[in-house]
Amino acid sequence: MQLSNTSKYAIRILSYIAKNEDKKLQNAKELSEILEIPYKFLTKIMTDLVNKEFILSIRGREGGYKLARSASTISVLDILNAFNELTHFSECILGSQTCDPQKKCILHDQWAKPRTLIKQMFAETTLEKIEGEDFKT
C-alpha cells in the first residue's frame, strides 16, 4: 500500500526541477546529491522522464535537464500514470475479477470514497501548486 520508489523519486525530481526553473539547467550529479537518489538509478529515471516528455535534456558539456512544459500543466496524477502506478487503481481493491455493482467485493463500498479522494488529490496537485521544501530521502 505505497508508491514505488521509482514514482516517489520521479515526483521529487520533477518538483525540485520545477521549483528551480530559474537556474536553467539541472545536472544528474547535483540532482543525485541534493535529492539523495543513487546516481545510476537517477539517470535511468531521467531518461524515462525525457522519453515520457516531462523533461528536456541537453547533452554534452554544460548540458542538463529542464522541464519540457509548464509546471502548471504537470499533475502528480500525470506522473503516476506515466509510471503505471495507477493501472489497477480503478479496479477492485481486492483484485476480484468479477467485482461490480451487482456482485460487490467485500470492500467495494468502503473503498469507493477514499479512492475518489486520492485520485482527485493527485489530479489537482500540479508541480506549480506544490509548496513543500523537503526534497531529500
Residues found near DNA in the complex (CB under 7 A): 4-6, 26-29, 38, 40-41, 43-44, 46-47, 50, 57-65
Give the separation between CA 64 and CA 28, rounded to whole angstroms. Answer: 7
In whole angstroms, the minimum distance from the beta carbon of 56 to DNA comes to 9
- Name the residue type at position 31: L
Binding site for a copy of itself (CB under 8 A): 1-3, 5, 8, 11-12, 15, 76, 80, 85-86, 88-89, 93-99, 103-111, 113-114, 117-118, 121, 125, 130-137
Question: Closest CB to DNA among 43 and 125?
Answer: 43
| Angle subtended at Cα 128 by Cα 126 and Cα 129, rounded to the nearest 5 degrees | 70
Q: Which of 73, 7, 3, 82 is nearest to 50 (CA)?
A: 82
